[in-house]
Amino acid sequence: MSDIAIEVTGLGKRYRIGSRAPAPRGRWDALRQTVGAPFAYLRQSLREPTEAELLHALRDVSFQVRAGEVLGLIGRNGAGKSTLLKILARITEPSSGRAELHGRVGSLLEVGTGFHPELSGRENIYLNGAILGMRRAEIQRRFDEIVAFSGVERFLDTPVKRYSSGMYVRLAFSVAAHLESEILLMDEVLAVGDGDFQKKCLGKVQEIAGHGRTVLFVSHNMGMITSLCQSALLLEGGRVAASGPASEVVSRYFHGERNTPYLVDYRSSSVRRGDDLATLLEASVRDPHGRPAADIDIRSAFTVTMHYTINQAVSIAPFPQIQVYDTQGACVFVSFATSTPSFRVDAGDYVATCHIPGNLLNNGTYYIGIALTFRHLGIHTSFIERDALAVNMIDPIHETIDEDRMGYGGIMIGMLRPKLDWTIEPTTK
């Protein structure tokens, strides 16, 4: 019991949304509606709302977070993430259900809450700290740390309205990051500041998580979720759609209902994959140690394997191939096993392994299709399984930020993220 930090059972939240008044018929009706509007408004807001006027932002949400766990909360806009966070932060009350939080709760739903533009940086540290729930003694104790972290020492006695937006946000994050709470609720606050500061923020969050504090983290940046969180919770339409290891939940998020397998055994499948020439037995994504894995570090090489049976000897060996798609369904690349021998092969079981180098794919989820094509009687594909496998490429930002990202902590766009050789030479003497 003591090792559960947050326990949520059957949490629900209903909002009342107005229903529209019918459009007036004619001028007389319009006048009557205008005059009657206050009464209609009062009548509508005082009676019990009807089902049509209610919006269920959360329905029957239950989950547990162990002490020291970093849980990512993901979902599309309007899925109920913010509502859930607001309920846990006690900003609003649930309509049903119950949540128990064991330990002091700090919430960071926005940076700089309650900053007063006319007050100086120093004054705002105290004010903001107090609003976030810090004691004055606690703020005093950590004051130097907060200032040092924010890097605004020189402007401490300047009103914050004169700060650049970057300085403002840095100061605000610093105060919040030094909040000593056992449970921290965070909403996308990391998407602030320049690359250098983002790096510091990430490091800080990593540190917070490393100190046995429980963190509930909402983000739209899946790379961040997979690199910061052990587990994740996916909300869809106010309900928990999936929960479990972060990478699995993230790929579920990208692909809706579909599961994202990294090891598929077709032997047990009811439908046989293949034809009289060949049969697919198994396909997998494997880490550098040869173990089936859902998550691969973007820097490391990995393999895609397929086991198949060739049912009859053929004069020219068939070639296996893979197709790699991104989550939008665009093809990233296709690879044929061009190095297969072109002479005859016997019937029997084979395993084909495609070696994909590290530093090629970007972070995110990719779907891998596999196929086997014969060419002894013209081109003939024996089996093709589109999106048979999935792989989550993980960018551990806290590790890659220095060398690979040059301190930049934001989103690196593109289907690929190859590490290429560059040369830079002076052209002026």
Record the tokens describing residue 118, joined without a space: 């006319």
**Rounded distance, CA 126 to CA 282, Å?**
61
Shortest Cβ 258–another protein spacing (Å): 34
Least CB distance from residue 131 to another protein, whole Å? 6
Residue closer to another protein by CB (options 100, 153) is 100
Residue number, 110 or 346, with CB nearest to another protein: 110
250 contacts 395 by C-beta, under 8 angstroms = no
Do you know the residue count of the chain?
429
Minimum CB separation of residue 197 from another protein in Å reads: 21
Of the pair 213, 252, the CB lying nearest another protein is at: 213
List residues binding another protein (CB under 8 A): 15-16, 38, 45, 86-105, 107, 109-110, 113-114, 116, 118-119, 123, 126-127, 130-133, 135-136, 159, 180-182
CB nearer to another protein: pick between 75 and 129: 129
Closer by beta carbon to another protein, 90 or else 380: 90
Nearest to 280 by CA among 350, 336, 334: 350
What is the C-alpha separation between 116 and 331, in angstroms, rounded?
A: 51
8 A C-beta contact, residue 214 and residue 6: yes
| Smallest distance from another protein to CB 339, Å | 59
Q: What whole-number distance in Å separates Cα of residue 393 and Cα of residue 390?
A: 10
Q: Residue 361: CB partners within 8 Å, gap ≥ 6?
A: 298, 324, 332, 391, 393, 415, 416, 417
Report the alpha-carbon distance of residue 179 to residue 20 in Å, rounded: 45
Task: Kindly tell me which of 42 and 377 has the beta carbon lying closer to another protein.
Answer: 42
* Rounded-to-integer distance, Cα 178 and Cα 401, Å: 22
Residue with tokens 């009342």: 16
Q: Rounded to an integer, what distance in angstroms lies between the CA atom of residue 89 and that of residue 216? A: 11
Cβ of residue 27: shortest distance to another protein, in angstroms?
Answer: 26
Closest separation in Å from C-beta 15 to another protein? 6
